[in-house]
Amino acid sequence: MSFAKKIEIIGVPSDLGANMRGANMGPAALRIADLKEKVEIQGYEVIDSGDLHVPVRDSLDPKIQDEKFLQPLVKICDELATRTYQSVKENRFPLVIGGDHSIAIGSISGVANHFRDHDQSIGVIWVDAHADINTPDSSPSGNIHGMPLATLLGNGHPELTRIGGEGAKINPKNVALIGIRTIDDHEKMQLKESGIHYYTMRDIDEKGMFHIMQEAIKHVSEGTSGIHVSFDIDGIDPRYAPGVSTPVSGGITFREAHLILEMAYESGKMSSLDFVELNPYTDVGAQSANLTVDLILSALGKSIV
């Protein structure tokens, strides 16, 4: 698949999947950091399609809040799946900006659905401090932003697993999870049994990010026609990206983050991208927002020379 020269920005200002407020301000922070203008400088045509409607959590019925906002998140992810499906269908590159990581259920489901229409499949590179592979039965908190990868593998709330079509949207053998360093005990077992390829921070320390990415791209490309990159900003060490909802020390460095995205672009197979969990409320100045924009530019081909 050739890299689409028309980029479509889709904002999803939702923090409903998390118990920490603030990620709903992420799309606005990236626009204020001149995301559209900087992508255009790289020679792309950019369409900013605005934000999906997300209800204010305090306006919702207490019962909905007690259910961890399942129903509004189903609606948001359904709409996002429709939007990313249409974007790829029209030969655009959907750049989804969030928002907490629960929105990846929608972004990836839509893209996967489009490829499935052509008897094809996608691989996924998932960058995160957390495995996001909890289910409603295993999650200590019940927060849906800890469940999106499990949901996309077909395990989770039935109303979420059916988004974009029934069943799993991605094959575990075509998933690479990079940067994990804090995992629930029950989640460790699920991770080992899942069949996905995962790389802890110790793996990165031992092998180096270049070799990790070589392996990851090989795994996610095997038998697939496109690659979706889902990048959680908390995968980066909070020294570089303090503006997240769930910071975990000992993470990916500034340069390692850029290398991930440079190599993903150079694979020639990246079909879609989402950046999530930017929380301007916890940021230092606009440090994390500016870094995120720079990382997006690397994902779209910006190079040092």
Q: Give tens-digit pLDDT for 44-103.
A: 999 999 999 999 998 999 999 899 999 999 999 999 999 999 999 999 999 999 999 999
Total structural domains within the chain? 1
The Cα 300–Cα 275 span in angstroms is 13
Query: Residue 1 — pLDDT band, cuts 50, 70, 90?
Result: very low
Active-site position among 130, 157, 228, 258: 130
The Cα 140–Cα 152 span in angstroms is 20
The Cα 213–Cα 37 span in angstroms is 29
Asked whether residue 210 is assigned to any structural domain, the reply reads yes
Asked whether residue 258 is assigned to any structural domain, the reply reads yes
Active-site position among 100, 128, 187, 283: 128
Asked whether residue 37 is assigned to any structural domain, the reply reads yes
Give me the sign of the Cα torsion angle 145, 148, 149, 154: positive
Active-site position among 15, 51, 100, 232: 232
CA distances from 152 to 6, 67, 75 (A): 26, 20, 16
pLDDT for position 3: 63
Asked whether residue 240 is assigned to any structural domain, the reply reads yes
Asked whether residue 105 is assigned to any structural domain, the reply reads yes
Asked whether residue 304 is assigned to any structural domain, the reply reads no
Query: Residue 5 — pLDDT band, cuts 50, 70, 90?
Result: confident
Give me the sign of the Cα torsion angle 115, 41, 267, 289: negative
Mean pLDDT of 135-147: 90
Does the active-site annotation cover 128?
yes
Query: Residue 123 — pLDDT band, cuts 50, 70, 90?
Result: very high
Active-site position among 234, 262, 274, 283: 234
pLDDT for position 2: 53
Active-site position among 79, 132, 256, 262: 132
pLDDT digits (tens, 9 = 90+) for 214-263: 999 999 999 999 999 999 999 999 999 999 999 999 999 999 999 999 99
Tokens of 183: 């995992």
Active-site position among 101, 114, 228, 258: 101
Report the candidate in 145, 176, 191, 111 with the shortest Cα–Cα distance to residue 20: 145
In the numeric block, the tokens 């929105």 are attached to 103
Tokens of 150: 């499990």
Residue 302 has pLDDT above 70, yes or no: yes
Does the active-site annotation cover 232?
yes
Whether residue 99 is preceded by a cis peptide bond, meaning omega within 30 degrees of 0, is yes
Does the active-site annotation cover 130?
yes
pLDDT digits (tens, 9 = 90+) for 194-220: 999 999 999 999 999 999 999 999 999
- The edge-to-edge listing of strands for the beta sheet with 45-51 is 45-51, 6-12, 93-98, 270-276, 226-232, 122-127, 175-180, 197-200
Asked whether residue 305 is assigned to any structural domain, the reply reads no
Tokens of 182: 């804090």
Asked whether residue 146 is assigned to any structural domain, the reply reads yes
Domain of 287, CATH number, reads 3.40.800.10
In the numeric block, the tokens 């081909």 are attached to 301
Active-site position among 8, 100, 145, 262: 145
Active-site position among 100, 274, 277, 283: 277
Domain of 180, in residue numbers = 6-299
Mean pLDDT over the full length of the chain:
96
Inter-residue contact 175 to 104 (CB < 8 Å)? no
Does the active-site annotation cover 197?
no
